Amino acid sequence: MSTKDYLEKDYYAVLGVPKTATAEEIKKAYRKLARQYHPDANPGDSATSGNTARFKEVSEAYDVLSDTKRRKEYDEARTLFGSGLGGYAGPGGAGRQGGFSFDLGDLFGGTHQQSGGIGDIFGGLFNRGGTAPRGTARTRRGQDVETEVTLSFAEAAEGTTVSLRLTSSSACTACGGTGAKAGTTPRVCPTCEGTGAASRNLGNFAFSEPCRDCKGRGLLVDDPCSVCEGSGRGKSTRTIQARIPAGVGDGQRIKIKAKGAPGENGGPAGDLYVQIHVKPHPVFGRTGENLTVTVPVTFTEAALGAEIKVPTLKGMPVTLRIPEGTPNGRTFRVRGRGVARKDGTKGDLLVTVEVLVPQQLEDKARGALEEFRDATAGFDPRAELIQQARSE
């Protein structure tokens, strides 16, 4: 920004705030305008559109007014020389070097939806000093792609391979992404010599912006491809086989590297994110790498001890020995019958016994239980409880 800029531009008017605005008010006004004019909010716009120009203006104004020191300089310059002096040539070298910066994290509140998108738009757009990187068409990382998949309980526990149908933006297949009609090739843009960037001087502050003639591509297409109308972009649907590791949980999001949209001009592919849904199982539950199951046992099995059959996930039942005098709700561990771990071993199956009380008794069974009652008449299971309650 030069002194000339300071005198010609009314940054307060650009942001629509009074001269007396607080830092907070300035920030608020900037955020509102930046959201409105930001290239992401106007995806159809070219780099030279009104919105883009307005966005730069707003950013420039905020850049000065948000910096206490620079705002003071700005106010002083305008008080000293009067404002609105169109054509005033400021004293050489009195302006500032560089300093054209803005905080994207601030602007977007740290949202993380489109990694890569912002970098793409601003890559080389505002680099200081006007030295655009030289090179041919810029490489661009492919977009990250999101998808979701619903697994059965067993698939999630043991790992599986799923087919995922992905739709992503990719190079147009008709022209191979060049945007030029079949049989023709794009030519290097003579304005920017293929860099895609143009340098612009603002007083003694220079910055580079996308070349107007080729819109930053570095290439010009004389005969556009009819399929993509010269954009070089197309939608592609592909099916990939993705390995879902054992032990994924419901609600987990897994990242599969480089399986997102393909990159452009030799850039790397984006990543694929898969949101996992797991259907519940009617019998088994999961806690981390262990499976859980509740198994009913009879009163006599619990009292006398028994060998009981316990179901396993996708396997034959196993025999579990429960000891004499097993209380209701006790949990036993069957090793190696849980969820597969990374190293190929498995977690455990946690078996919780639930003692059943018979709902109906045959005569013989009733007689036996009455005999049992008489035989244990001397035992009062509540005696200790009642005594404890009294002694407090």
List the one residue out of 358, 340, 357 whose CA is nearest residue 349: 340
Which amino acid is residue 118, in one-letter code? I
CA distance linking residue 12 with residue 14, whole number of Å = 5
Judged by CB under 5 A, the stretch of 27-35, 173-181, 292-300, 327-335 that binds Zn ion is: 173-181
Query: Considering the rule CB under 5 A, would residue 188 count as an interface residue with Zn ion?
Result: no
CA distance linking residue 331 with residue 348, whole number of Å = 12
CA distance linking residue 355 with residue 303, whole number of Å = 10
Query: Considering the rule CB under 5 A, would residue 169 count as an interface residue with Zn ion?
Result: no
Number of Cβ within a 10 Å radius of residue 142: 22
Query: Considering the rule CB under 5 A, would residue 219 count as an interface residue with Zn ion?
Result: no
Nearer to Zn ion, 211 or 272 (CB): 211
Among 14, 65, 192, 322, binds Zn ion (CB under 5 A): 192
Specify the DSSP class assigned to residue 11: H
CA distance linking residue 206 with residue 193, whole number of Å = 19
Specify the DSSP class assigned to residue 41: G
Nearer to Zn ion, 142 or 247 (CB): 142
Q: Measured from the CB of residue 267, what is the shortest distance to Zn ion in angstroms?
A: 18
Query: Considering the rule CB under 5 A, would residue 223 count as an interface residue with Zn ion?
Result: no
Q: Measured from the CB of residue 172, what is the shortest distance to Zn ion in angstroms?
A: 3
Nearer to Zn ion, 48 or 328 (CB): 48
CA distance linking residue 357 with residue 83, whole number of Å = 93
Query: Considering the rule CB under 5 A, would residue 246 count as an interface residue with Zn ion?
Result: no
Nearer to Zn ion, 14 or 228 (CB): 228
Judged by CB under 5 A, the stretch of 19-27, 209-217, 274-282, 334-342 that binds Zn ion is: 209-217
Q: Measured from the CB of residue 137, what is the shortest distance to Zn ion in angstroms?
A: 11
Q: Measured from the CB of residue 52, what is the shortest distance to Zn ion in angstroms?
A: 16
Query: Considering the rule CB under 5 A, would residue 293 count as an interface residue with Zn ion?
Result: no
Q: Please, are residues 10 and 16 in contact by the beta-carbon 8 Å criterion?
A: no
Nearer to Zn ion, 191 or 292 (CB): 191
How big is the site for Zn ion, counted in residues (CB under 5 A)? 12
Query: Considering the rule CB under 5 A, would residue 214 count as an interface residue with Zn ion?
Result: yes
Among 132, 151, 164, 225, binds Zn ion (CB under 5 A): 225
Nearer to Zn ion, 221 or 349 (CB): 221
Q: 211-229 burial, b for 16+ CB within 10 Å, e for fewer?
A: beebebbbbbbeebbebbe
Query: Considering the rule CB under 5 A, would residue 66 count as an interface residue with Zn ion?
Result: no
What 3-state DSSP class applies to 133?
coil
Q: Measured from the CB of residue 178, what is the shortest distance to Zn ion in angstroms?
A: 7
Q: Please, are residues 241 and 260 in contact by the beta-carbon 8 Å criterion?
A: no
Specify the DSSP class assigned to residue 358: P
Judged by CB under 5 A, the stretch of 199-207, 219-227, 363-371, 383-391 that binds Zn ion is: 219-227
Q: Measured from the CB of residue 344, what is the shortest distance to Zn ion in angstroms?
A: 47
Query: Considering the rule CB under 5 A, would residue 53 count as an interface residue with Zn ion?
Result: no
For the chain, how are helix, strand and coil distributed in percent, rounded to 5?
A: 25, 25, 45
Among 15, 29, 64, 189, binds Zn ion (CB under 5 A): 189
Nearer to Zn ion, 17 or 225 (CB): 225
Q: How does DSSP assign 252-295, residue by residue?
A: -EEEETT-SSPPBTTPPP--EEEEEEE---SS-EEETTEEEEEE
Query: Considering the rule CB under 5 A, would residue 64 count as an interface residue with Zn ion?
Result: no
Among 228, 274, 302, 313, binds Zn ion (CB under 5 A): 228
Which amino acid is residue 129, in one-letter code? G
Helix or strand holding residue 168 (H, E): strand 160-171
Judged by CB under 5 A, the stretch of 70-78, 137-145, 172-180, 275-283 that binds Zn ion is: 172-180
Chain residues in the site for Zn ion (CB under 5 A): 172, 174-175, 189, 191-192, 211, 213-214, 225, 227-228
